[in-house]
Amino acid sequence: MPAHAAAFSFDIEDWFHSEFVTGPARAAHPESVVERGTSRILDLLQRTGSRATFFLLGDVVREHPRLLRRIVDEGHEVACHGVDHRPLWGLDAGTFADQLDEFRRLVERVLGRFPVTGYRAPSFSLDRTTAWALDVLRDRGYAYDSSIFPARVKLYGVPDAPVHIYRPARDDLARHDPGGALVEFPVAVGAAGPLRLPVAGGFYLRALPFSLFQLVLAAIRRRRPVALYLHPRECAPEAVRLPLRGSASFITYAGLAGVPRKLERLLQRHRSRPMGEVLAAEGHLRAR
């Protein structure tokens, strides 16, 4: 049976944008990892003939404009991951709109245009308490979102949200509304009855046995397109390690050394296309 499309995505932020990093840790370790990690990702995509979506932070665009240029020059899709990695839980509609406007200015300053139609919230923080963000994204011209995590995990998640592409209703973002303003392309979560197993990328790629990860991913791809995510820091595993404790350390560092090799094997098996391109090819985007 032919498989559905695979769309790899990368949340382009530095190690100190993690929800577990506090100010003093950042001051003690000023080294940036975003250039090195992103360059490795781009090299790997080039080598394997894949294209992907890069959700960039405004802070990264400001500090590393060359990265944005290279991403675009090599045929990848640029999308928005906010400005400073503050989750939506700490914003309101006004401050979020300001962030989207600032992101737009930063991208236009580098590219002279704004080719962005996709958004992913820091820490998958789009849930029922922050559904107002859908209105702001619509008003700012965004066409799709990839922030609603359809499983409940420690930090985030909407456990009853669809695992497939759909249009979230404004009054309940787990419900499909054909008239909804944005398309949701959730990261890959396996579903068997009420059970949900995220294979979305990041921590799940690092912590799950790779054979199980690949089995679930292949099973999802037989039914629907898949989206996966990773971070630059996970592709530069020799970078700074912070003295985190307990679950914060596990979530941040479990299985880190194996990621570059796993990513290469995944890209060899699942040729990637940008998320916006997959959505357009599958007829999910409206003419604008």
Q: Smallest distance from the beta carbon of 31 to Zn ion, in angstroms?
A: 19
DSSP of 44-88, one letter per residue? HHHHHT---EEEE-HHHHHH-HHHHHHHHHTTPEEEE--SS---G
Residue placing its CB nearer to Zn ion in the complex, 62 or 269: 62
Q: Does 59 bind Zn ion (CB under 5 A)?
A: no
Contact in structure between 52 and 11 (CB atoms under 8 Å): no
Least separation in angstroms between CB 268 and Zn ion: 26
Residues 6+ apart with CB under 8 A from 186: 146, 148, 149, 150, 161, 162, 163, 164, 165, 227
The one segment of 8-16, 62-70, 92-100, 171-179 that binds Zn ion by CB under 5 A:
8-16
**Diameter of the chain measured on Cα atoms:** 53
Beta partners for residue 198, in sequence order: 189
Total residues contacting Zn ion by CB under 5 A comes to: 3
* Pair 52, 76: CB distance under 8 Å: yes
Q: Which of residues 254-273 bind Zn ion (CB under 5 A)?
A: none
Instruction: Quickly list DSSP for 128-144.
Output: GGGTHHHHHHHHTT--E
Q: Does 11 bind Zn ion (CB under 5 A)?
A: yes
**Stretch 66-125 residues interacting with Zn ion (CB under 5 A):** 122
CB of 120 to Zn ion, least distance (A): 7
Helix (H) or strand (E) holding 195: strand 195-198
Least CB distance to Zn ion at residue 85 (A): 6
Task: Name the segment binding Zn ion (CB under 5 A); options: 6-14, 158-166, 210-218, 278-286.
Answer: 6-14
Alpha-carbon distance 206 to 199, whole Å?
Answer: 10
Cα separation of 148 and 125, whole Å? 7
Q: Within 156-195, which residues bind Zn ion (CB under 5 A)?
A: none
CB nearer Zn ion, residue 122 or residue 168: 122
Cβ–Cβ < 8 Å for 244, 48:
no
Q: CB 82 → Zn ion: shortest distance, Å? A: 8
Residue (13 or 77) nearer to Zn ion, CB: 13
Least separation in angstroms between CB 34 and Zn ion:
11
Shorter beta-carbon distance to Zn ion: residue 26 or 175? 26
Residue number, 122 or 201, with CB nearest to Zn ion: 122
Q: Which stretch binds Zn ion (CB under 5 A): 7-15, 146-154, 156-164, 203-211?
A: 7-15
Give the residue from 200, 112, 206 showing the smallest Cα distance to 149. Answer: 200
* Cβ-contact 52, 77 below 8 angstroms: yes
**Residue number with CB closer to Zn ion (13 or 127):** 13
Which residue's beta carbon is nearest to the bound Zn ion? 11
For residue 100, the SS3 value is helix
Q: How far is the CB of 172 from Zn ion (least distance, A)?
A: 25
> Interface with Zn ion includes 14 (CB under 5 A)?
no
Residues in contact with Zn ion by CB under 5 A are 11, 13, 122
